[in-house]
Amino acid sequence: MVIPVLVGVAYMTLAERKVRASIQRRRGPNVVGRYGVFTPLADGLKLVLKETIIPTSANPYLFVLAPVLTFMLALVGWAVIPVGYGMVLVDVDRGRRFLFAISSLAVYGIIRGGWSSNSKYAFLGGLRSAAQMVSYEVSIGLTRIAVLLCTGSMNLTKIVRAQTDLWYRVPRFPMFRMFCVSALAETNRHPFDLPEAEAELVSGYNVEYSAAGFVLFFLGEYTNMILMSGMISILFRGGWLAPRSIRAWIPESVWFGRKTTLMLRGFIWARAAYPRFRYDQLMRLGWKVFLPVSRGWVVFTSGVLIGFNGL
């Protein structure tokens, strides 16, 4: 499971640079290998071979542990993601609760890295990230509860099989859109990349990191992006399920990868198309828009289910 995820992360960076270059009428990476296919390997090798510098005023143990924690939590989440029927490392009945716990722990790595650097820019970036991730965890949790009410199970395999006739994206389109936007904020991606705002915080919580530490933070961010895209595919787009006409001759894992890749294109497109939000706009969207709407949708879903069960 780890090797495909890491390969996907490596070439996700290349795809992002290529797509953004195309949108901005540029060439993008095209030097290392044909069409730049070896650029991610060259970049990774360059960063790993560089010297790891620990600031004299930093807490060395927490400084080193923070990126490791961020990267490991991003990988652990893939343990319960089914890429096909029976193709999952651990098929637990509380898979969604496990993912919710893992995503809530991810903030500790970032805020620990910002605090242990003993830099005001890194500390402000860590605080911003903590506030942002906690704010949008609420709406993401309520969105998952709405899906749970319709499925009656927290098992991700059962959630996918419940969408055999109709993907949840169709009847729950507002929640689908809300989850996609919340995923951008949860992963600190543009236009919600305020913890890393270069103009204000000079890269934010990872400003003091170099070499392997920066690589682990970078890998953790992109692994979370792929994880969130996989979660969107499972909760709202039928997971590995293909249309009935082609279901028999396309492998399930290939179809799951295709849906996940389509959602990753949204992450890239948002970075190229939208300006960065102000911090007050970010908080207002999370607490005054997404929270009331998600709560209302949970109540509405519960009422509809109870009404139809009564009939």
Q: H-type helices in the chain, by residue range?
A: 2-23, 39-49, 60-76, 95-116, 120-151, 156-161, 173-186, 198-201, 211-236, 252-273, 279-284, 291-310
What's the number of CA atoms in the CB half-sphere (13 Å) around residue 225?
Answer: 28
Segment 50-72 mean pLDDT: 86
What's the CA gap between 291 and 302, in Å, rounded? Answer: 17
Residue 172: per-residue pLDDT: 84
Using the predicted structure, report yes or no on whether residue 261 has a pLDDT greater than 60.
Answer: yes
186-224 tens-digit pLDDT: 888 888 887 777 666 677 788 888 888 888 888 888 898
Q: What is the pTM of this model?
A: 0.89
Residue 130: per-residue pLDDT: 83
* Tokens matching residue 179: 């989850």
Q: Where are the domains of the chain?
A: 1-49, 52-310
Using the predicted structure, report yes or no on whether residue 310 has a pLDDT greater than 60.
Answer: no
Residue 199: per-residue pLDDT: 66
What's the CA gap between 68 and 126, in Å, rounded? Answer: 16
44-60 tens-digit pLDDT: 888 888 888 888 888 88
How far is residue 233 CA from its own chain's centroid? 12
Contact between residue 69 and residue 112 where contact means Cβ atoms under 8 Å apart = yes
